[in-house]
Structure formats: structure tokens, C-alpha cells
Amino acid sequence: MTRKFQLGRFLGLLYVALFLVASGLWLLHAQQKQESNFTGNIQRLEDNSKTGIAHIHFDAGARTKWHIHEGGQIILVEEGVGRTQVKGGPVLELHAGETTYAKPGVAHWHGAAPDQAATQFNVQRGMTTWLDEVTEKDYKTLPKR
């Protein structure tokens, strides 16, 4: 190999290496820029389950049937007074701004208080399995705060 050929080959490899380094740095910068709304390291989790959002107004006395969410459910009372219960647990009373969580696979119900309406914002993951109606006895049990 001649020196001219060796120099050309070296410069070509150097050009490719610099291009790859510059591309990698640009990608790293672009990814960091996308996460500029966070401080510290984060990891976005892939969620292949069906995620649902519900915004529901329950009139006084209205409630769901017992049901199960395979991925759990967050229940946030936006207005009024709500009630909820996990199967086997106490009835809970939730006021505006309060939230609770029904774990995956756990039967529960939620709705309004008997004498006050409630607006709820709920987020659930996975399929919902609907069960029996909530009895008046269960619903009207004195709630815990």
C-alpha cells in the first residue's frame, strides 16, 4: 500500500468515526431535551394494558356495582362527597380533593354519598370485570374518614 492510499483510508475512517460520534451526541442531546421537564434520571414505563380515564358525576345515592380492574384504579373526588369500599373493608368517605387506590384484582365500588352528589375523575388500567350490585346495607354503612 502506498502512503497516499494509507492516508486516504485513515482520513476516510476518521471521517466516519467523527460522523458517528457527532450523530450519537446529537441523539443524546435530543433525548435529554425531550426530558427537560424532569430533574434527575427517569424511566418511562411501557404499558401495554388498556388505560381508561373516566370523568363521572354521581347524583346523591348513585354508585357503581362491585367491580374489579385488572390493573387497579385511582379514584379522585373533584367535587362533593363520595363513598367507596374495597370488598371486606370499611366504607370510606372522600371529600373534594381526596383520592384512594383500588389495587389490581380487588373488588370495590365507588359513587356519591347518600345525601350529596360527587364528581369523580378515575384512572384505571386493564379490563374491568363487573360483579353484583352493592346492597343498601353495605352502601349505607357508616363511613370512616
> Looking at this protein, which amino acid is placed at residue 84?
T
Residue 98 lies in a domain: yes
- The CA distance from 140 to 78, in Å, is 22
State the residue range of the domain holding 34.
1-44
In terms of domains, do 35 and 56 share one? no
In terms of domains, do 65 and 82 share one? yes
- The CA distance from 135 to 145, in Å, is 21
In terms of domains, do 74 and 129 share one? yes
In terms of domains, do 128 and 71 share one? yes
In terms of domains, do 39 and 55 share one? no
In terms of domains, do 22 and 55 share one? no
In terms of domains, do 59 and 123 share one? yes
In tens, the pLDDT along 15-43 reads 555 555 566 665 555 555 555 777 777 77
In terms of domains, do 34 and 8 share one? yes
Residue 144 lies in a domain: no
- The CA distance from 65 to 130, in Å, is 7
Report if pTM > 0.85. Answer: no
In tens, the pLDDT along 93-130 reads 999 999 999 999 999 999 999 999 999 999 999 999 99
In terms of domains, do 65 and 107 share one? yes
Beta carbons within 10 angstroms of residue 15's beta carbon: 10
